């Protein structure tokens, strides 16, 4: 029980620091005379940034693995960049404490999803008044993207072919099947299919990722490692170091990702084209 109280205290403190640092960032942005752009808002003002950075909630029916994007760019001077760094530092602490709780006291997760927003009346009011379901922990700890250095040009485009590939042993896949209804004929067929695989053969579980906006940054001067460009996902507003408060040249991407995915098959593709166990998204390597 003492461990639980310690974990709850640590995660509450970390969450409070995220909220405090985020409000300080929003205030700094409100005071700064700087240029900004947002894909879905004609006026990316402080209210827009507050909505983007304090959206910690699941909407009804939202996929538990997904997060809502707020795509935009903000030209940032030293004070604003310092405020962003403080928010990201707080998010890192929150993520570390959360990982420890998941590892040691996983049963606390449902409780803290209710207790954390209750500590901040404005957030709790937002949660109940907007019909939002519960706290989305990933939206709490995801970092605010920041460019490494001043940028000459940004090219934005939807990335729709992302996949997460997790390498699994045959025994691990068998455990996943055992956790299902083993009396089901379908599961029985899957178990027999898996039995045909050598026990030492590695398998892969594939998760198709939600479309995300990707920014290709072209730096004014090369970075210390010699790179003059970088690609990064930008689910939250991208803060770009700027001396004069102006944004770099950038394109205007389509408001929403294309409906169809156009994933090219690479010549070095290591997985078979068709899933071996479709129900678990398990593939064999070639």
Give the DSSP per-residue string, the chain. Answer: -HHHHHHHHHHHHHHHHHHHHHHHHHHHHHHS---EEESS-S---HHHHHHHHT--EEPTT--TT------EEEEE-HHHHHHHHHHHHHHHHHHHHHHHHHHH-GGGHHHHHHHHHHTSHHHHHHHHHTT--EE-HHHHHPPPPB-SS-EEEEEEEEE---EEEEEE-HHHHHHHHHTS-TTSHHHHHHHHHHHTS-TT--EEEEEEPPPEEEEEEEESS--TTS--EEEEE-SSPEEEE-SSS-PPEE----SS--SS--PPPPTT--B-SS-SBGGGTEEEB-
Is the pLDDT at 127 greater than 60, yes or no? Answer: no
Confidence of residue 139 (pLDDT cuts 50, 70, 90): confident
What's residue 36's pLDDT?
Answer: 97
What's residue 144's pLDDT?
Answer: 97
Write out pLDDT tens, residues 95-116. 999 999 888 888 888 877 777 8
**Whole-model pTM?**
0.81
Write out pLDDT tens, residues 62-100. 555 567 889 999 999 999 999 999 999 999 999 999 999
What's residue 123's pLDDT?
Answer: 62
How is domain 163-208+268-284 classified at the CATH fold level? Replication Terminator Protein; Chain A, domain 2 (3.30.54)
What's residue 268's pLDDT?
Answer: 39
Higher-pLDDT residue of 153, 11: 153
Higher-pLDDT residue of 115, 276: 276
Higher-pLDDT residue of 16, 105: 16
What's residue 84's pLDDT?
Answer: 98
14-18, 83-87, 162-166, 243-247: which has the highest mean pLDDT?
A: 83-87
- pLDDT cut 70: percent of the chain above it: 87
What's residue 70's pLDDT?
Answer: 94
Of 13-17, 198-202, 208-212, the one with minimum mean pLDDT is: 208-212
Write out pLDDT tens, residues 45-58. 999 999 999 988 76
What's residue 129's pLDDT?
Answer: 45
The domain locations on the chain are: 2-147+236-244, 163-208+268-284
Confidence of residue 130 (pLDDT cuts 50, 70, 90): very low
What's residue 156's pLDDT?
Answer: 97
């Amino acid at each position: 029980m003492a461990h639980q109280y310690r974990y709850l205290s640590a995660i509450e403190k970390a969450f409070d620091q995220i909220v405090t640092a985020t409000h300080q960032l929003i205030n700094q942005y409100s005071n700064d005379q700087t240029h900004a752009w947002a894909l879905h808002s004609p006026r990316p003002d402080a209210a827009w940034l507050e909505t983007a950075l304090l959206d910690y909630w699941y909407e009804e029916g939202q996929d538990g693995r997904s997060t809502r994007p707020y795509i935009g760019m903000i030209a940032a001077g030293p004070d604003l960049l310092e405020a962003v760094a403080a928010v990201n530092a707080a998010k890192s602490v929150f993520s570390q404490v959360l990982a420890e709780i998941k590892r040691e006291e996983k049963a606390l997760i449902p409780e803290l999803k209710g207790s954390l927003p209750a500590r901040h009346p404005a957030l709790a009011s937002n949660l109940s008044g907007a019909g939002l379901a519960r706290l989305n922990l990933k939206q709490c700890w995801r970092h605010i993207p920041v460019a490494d250095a001043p940028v000459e040009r940004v090219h934005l485009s939807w990335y729709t072919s992302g996949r997460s590939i997790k390498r699994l042993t045959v025994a691990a896949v068998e455990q996943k099947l055992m956790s299902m209804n083993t009396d089901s004929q379908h599961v029985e067929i899957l178990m027999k299919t898996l039995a045909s695989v050598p026990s030492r053969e590695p398998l892969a579980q594939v998760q198709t990722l939600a479309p995300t906006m990707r920014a290709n940054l072209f730096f004014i001067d090369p970075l210390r490692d010699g790179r003059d460009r970088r690609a990064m996902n930008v689910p939250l507003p991208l803060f770009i170091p700027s001396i004069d408060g102006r944004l770099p040249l950038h394109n205007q991407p389509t408001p929403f990702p294309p409906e169809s995915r156009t994933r090219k098959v690479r010549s070095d593709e290591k997985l078979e084209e068709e899933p071996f166990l479709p129900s678990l998204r398990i593939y064999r390597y070639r």
